[in-house]
Chain A
Amino acid sequence: MDITSKVVNDVMIIKLHGQLNIDTSPQFREILFAKIDADPSNNKILIDCDLLEYVSSAGIQVLYILLDKLEQKDGKLALCSVSPNVKKVFNIIDLMSDIQIYKDQAEALTKLNS
């Protein structure tokens, strides 16, 4: 899995490319935690799922851990550009009741900064 990140308007945008499964989620967790710990002002994270092929419960677990961590820092976590396949998984788990999902980056950025 490839993870790229950039900061736009105080929001860290993480773009995931590939599969967020049992194999890759520890790496995902490590990278994200390092980024959050590196700078205390990094407390708004948007995960762009445009190129995310599939997600399993191990990946969802990391999203929840990340959410807990950000909430402790008064931060926000949101997802955007989720493909139908991945969205199906999120629906089953009812992830949307805990983490906001936006249509695309532009919408997410406006909402996160409002």
Chain B
Amino acid sequence: MATAINTSSQYQRVIKRDRIRLLIFVAVVIFFPVWFAEIVIFNFWIGDRLTWLFWCVSIGIAAILALLVFYVFIYFRAQQNLQVLAKVIFAFDATDFDQIVNNLSQTRSIEEEASILANLLIQLKKNFSHFKQNLLHKTQETARIKDELIIARNLQQHMLPTEFINVTKNFPNISVYANLIPATEVSGDFYDVFALDDDKLLLTIGDVCGKGIAACVLMSRLLTIIRTSALAMQHSKSSESTMLLDLLARLNTGLYQVGYEHCMFATMILAIFDMRTNKLIYCNAGHNPLCVISTENKSVKFIENSSKPVGIREQAVYQCKELQLAAGDYCLFYTDGIVETHDQAGALFDEHGMEKSLLGRVEFGSKAVVNGLLQDAGNFAPNIPQEDDMTALIIHHHMPKSGTMKSTAIQTTKPIKSSTITVKSGIEAIKTVQIEIKSFLLANRFKAAELGDLDVCIEEILANIIKYGYGPNKPGDIDVKIDLYTDEFCLQFIDQAMAFNPLQLLASHMATQAKRTSGERGLKLVASMADGLAYSRKDDHNILSVIKKYSSMRKGV
């Protein structure tokens, strides 16, 4: 093998030498025929013309043949080298350059070319190793940051309470629940609930502007200030509102000192709830309104009144408000991530979406209301990654127990005939159920012309279960059962999605609002077309029953 060529100038020298060789070769190839031709022409007129002609032709042919053999030889040798090169390239393994160089040394002759190639590859290897090292370094760095983020996330999650039974243990008619879904590993949203004494709870929810690490650091600071300051103040004789204002002033200073230069601030609600009197004293610092859900009136009210966010001005003035919760009322605190969830067309989940979600779950308690709300907001735009943290915190003052709600509409007698279809939630399921139910009814002597409403009812109910109940990310089974009685039939839609009573929406003012969504219009259609509607929740299943009286629908019965 030729000696290694290590610099670019050596490489240039070899190229130059090769060019000289080529020139000599060309000169010889051209010189010989010309020289020969001269001899031929000169002797042709002097010597034995025929002998000369014979020699000339013979030697000429010999020369051409020799040239041909030489070319063929060069051609095959080049081919052989190319084959070696091809073998090397096909077996290319970026990790083993030494093997490549070794293989290239097997190229026969033209050592310089092989040498050039080998050395170029050695250079490539050096560059590549450098690149690999960089990449490895970056990957390790990313992995380290990710690990740290996971630790930070776990720490953050531990700062947020997840068990709320202890804080309300002396008041069985009060329940509290909260949940937070971060948009990235760590969040800027926060909440906290803890007992100030036997009767009073301190509740807070907030949102540090931005998200990710910076917001997470500030939210930790805020939570620490709230806990330590509130617990230090709990034995002072000051009133709740004085305590809240004092706390907010501390938070404002605490955040202003660290966040001001980075334009970081937070919106929050700080509240004290007296479980004895069901009175809430709160202060809203630039946060989303409080929301009161009345089980009795089936209404959702947003209470707007807020002051400046904390950390934005050195001297900020805050005001406290009072709110009396009636029996059955819920008081919800939430962050903007919920209302500002939007779909691809830009339509917002907004307060309207919240209202619908909240009303449908009022009878199922705090946990169902909060988790249902977060799920509905998430399902609102399933194809768009969550952009902001979503947090909800709720207090519920239970209604005194007065027996379970009973539906009067459902038959207690045994049906004459029954049939059940099970489908996977998905738009295709609607058609299947429509066809199956219709053919069951037609087989039982119903008139096709009278069953027009049925298709609409089936579509509306199934569409609601598929879109809002299960959502596109967690499809599940839907059972549709039909029972025939002597004068009516009953369609039951049974699903295992989160508890939701659509009939509560009908009872609320939402059903009469001018601006309705397709789901609410659908519900109204079903209610108008059916002769009876009933909802029940049994063994973690939602059961919606639609009753239709026969009237003229059946022939000759």
Query: Is B525 a contact of A57 with CB atoms below 8 Å?
Result: yes
Q: Mark B505-548, 1 if CB is under 8 A from A, else 0.
A: 00000000000011101101100110000000000000000000
Task: With a 10 A CB-CB cut-off, give which of A23, A56, A92 has the most chain B CB atoms.
Answer: A56
Residues of A within 8 A of B529 (CB): 92
A55 and B453 alpha carbons, distance in the complex (Å): 10
Q: Are A61 and B430 in contact (CB under 8 A)?
A: no
* Smallest Cβ-Cβ distance to A22: which chain B residue: B463
Tell me the chain B residues, 270-319 only, with Cβ under 8 Å from chain A: none
Contacts of B456 in A (CB 8 A): 54-56, 89
Residues 445-482 of chain B: 1 if any A CB is under 8 Å from the residue's CB, otherwise 0? 00000001101100110010000000000000000000
What string of 1s and 0s marks CB contacts (under 8 Å) between A31-69 and chain B? 000000000000000000000001111101100000000
Return chain A residues, CB-CB under 8 Å to B460.
56-57
User: Contacts A22-B459, A22-B463, A89-B456 hold; do A57 and B521 have CB atoms under 8 A apart?
Assistant: yes
Q: Do residues B522 and A57 form an inter-chain contact, with CB atoms below 8 A? A: yes
A22 to B519, CA, bound (A): 11
Q: Please state if B427 and A56 are interface contacts (CB–CB under 8 Å).
A: no
User: 1/0 per residue A83-108: CB within 8 Å of B?
Assistant: 00100110011000000000000000
Q: Are B452 and A57 in contact (CB under 8 A)?
A: no
- B residues within 8 A CB of A88? 453
Q: Across the interface, which residues of A come within 8 angstroms of B455, CB to CB?
A: 19, 54
With both chains docked as a complex, state the minimum distance between the C-beta of B508 and any C-beta of chain A, in angstroms.
Answer: 17
B519 touches A57 (CB 8 A): yes
Q: Which residues of B contact A5 (CB under 8 A)?
A: none
Closest to B527 in A: A92
Residues A60 and B528 in contact in the complex (CB < 8 Å), given A22-B427, A22-B430, A54-B455: no
Asked if A21 contacts B459 (CB within 8 A), the reply is yes
What 1/0 flags go to A1-38 for Cβ under 8 Å of B?
00000000000000000010111000000000000000
* Alpha-carbon separation in the docked complex, A54 to B459 (Å): 11
Decide if the interface of chain A is mainly helix, strand, loop or mixed: helix
Residue contact B525 to A92, C-beta cutoff 8 Å: yes
Please indicate the chain A residues that have their CB under 8 angstroms from the CB of B522 in the complex: 56-58
CB distance from A99 to the nearest CB of B (A): 14
Least CB separation from B434: chain A residue: A21
Number of contacting residues on A, CB 8 A? 16
Contact A60 B452 (CB under 8 A): no
Q: Contacts A22-B430, A23-B431, A93-B525; is A58 near B463 (CB within 8 Å)?
A: yes
Q: Is the interface of B mostly helix, strand, loop or mixed?
A: helix
Task: Provide the bound-state CA to CA distance between A58 and B520, in Å.
Answer: 10
Inter-chain CA distance A85–B456, complex, in Å, is 10
Complex Cα–Cα for A63 and B517 (A): 12
Q: For the complex, what is the distance from the CA of A85 to the CA of B448, rounded to whole Å?
A: 13
Instruction: Name the one of A19, A54, A57, A85 contacting B518, with C-beta atoms under 8 angstroms.
Output: A57
Q: Is the CB of A85 within 8 A of B452?
A: yes
Beta-carbon nearest neighbor of A57 in chain B: B522
- Tell whether, in the assembled complex, residue B517 and residue A92 are in contact, meaning their CB atoms are under 8 Å apart: no
A52 to B366 alpha-carbon distance, docked (Å): 45
User: Across the interface, which residues of A come within 8 angstroms of B518, CB to CB?
Assistant: 57-58, 60-61
Q: Tell whether A93 pairs with B459 under 8 Å between CB atoms, given A23-B430, A61-B517, A61-B518.
A: no
Return B528 CB to nearest CB of chain A, in Å.
4
Q: How far is the CA of A72 from the CA of B522 in the complex (A)?
A: 26
* CB-defined contacts of A60 to chain B, threshold 8 Å: 518, 521
A86: shortest Cβ distance to chain B, in Å? 9
Q: Could you tell me the distance in whole angstroms from the C-beta of A89 to the nearest C-beta in chain B? A: 6
Cβ of A74 to closest chain B Cβ, rounded Å: 22
Contacts of A57 in B (CB 8 A): 460, 463, 518-519, 521-522, 525
Query: Within 8 Å CB of B517, what residues of A?
Result: 61
CA gap between A23 and B525 in the complex, in Å: 18
Asked whether, in the complex, the Cβ of A93 is within 8 Å of the Cβ of B521, the reply is yes
A58 CA to B517 CA in the complex, in Å? 9
Report the bound CA distance from A23 to B521 in whole Å.
17
Q: How far is the CA of A57 from the CA of B460 in the complex (A)?
A: 7
B464 to chain A, nearest CB (A): 9
- CA–CA, A72 and B325, complex, Å: 44
Cβ-defined contact, B463 with A89, below 8 A: no
Minimum Cβ distance to chain A for residue B9 (Å) = 66
By a CB distance below 8 angstroms, the chain B residues around A85 are 452
Cα A103 to Cα B522 with chains together (Å): 25
B380 nearest CB across to chain A (Å): 15
A21-B456 Cα distance, complex, nearest whole Å: 8
Contact of B452 among A23, A54, A58 (CB under 8 A): A54
Q: How far is the CA of A21 from the CA of B463 in the complex (A)?
A: 10
User: Can you list 13 A-B contacts (CB < 8 A)?
Assistant: A21-B430, A21-B459, A23-B430, A54-B456, A56-B456, A56-B522, A56-B525, A57-B460, A57-B519, A57-B525, A58-B518, A60-B521, A89-B456
Q: Which residues of A contact B (CB under 8 A)?
A: 19, 21-23, 54-58, 60-61, 85, 88-89, 92-93
Other than the given A23-B430, A57-B522, A93-B521, 20 more pairs (CB < 8 A) read A21-B459, A22-B427, A22-B459, A22-B463, A54-B452, A54-B455, A55-B456, A56-B456, A56-B460, A56-B522, A56-B525, A57-B460, A57-B525, A58-B459, A58-B463, A58-B518, A58-B522, A61-B517, A88-B453, A93-B524
Rank and list the top 8 A-B pairs by shortest CB-CB distance, nearest first. Answer: A57-B522, A61-B518, A57-B521, A92-B528, A57-B518, A85-B452, A56-B459, A22-B463
Q: Which residues of B contact A (CB under 8 A)?
A: 427, 430-431, 452-453, 455-456, 459-460, 463, 517-519, 521-522, 524-525, 528-529
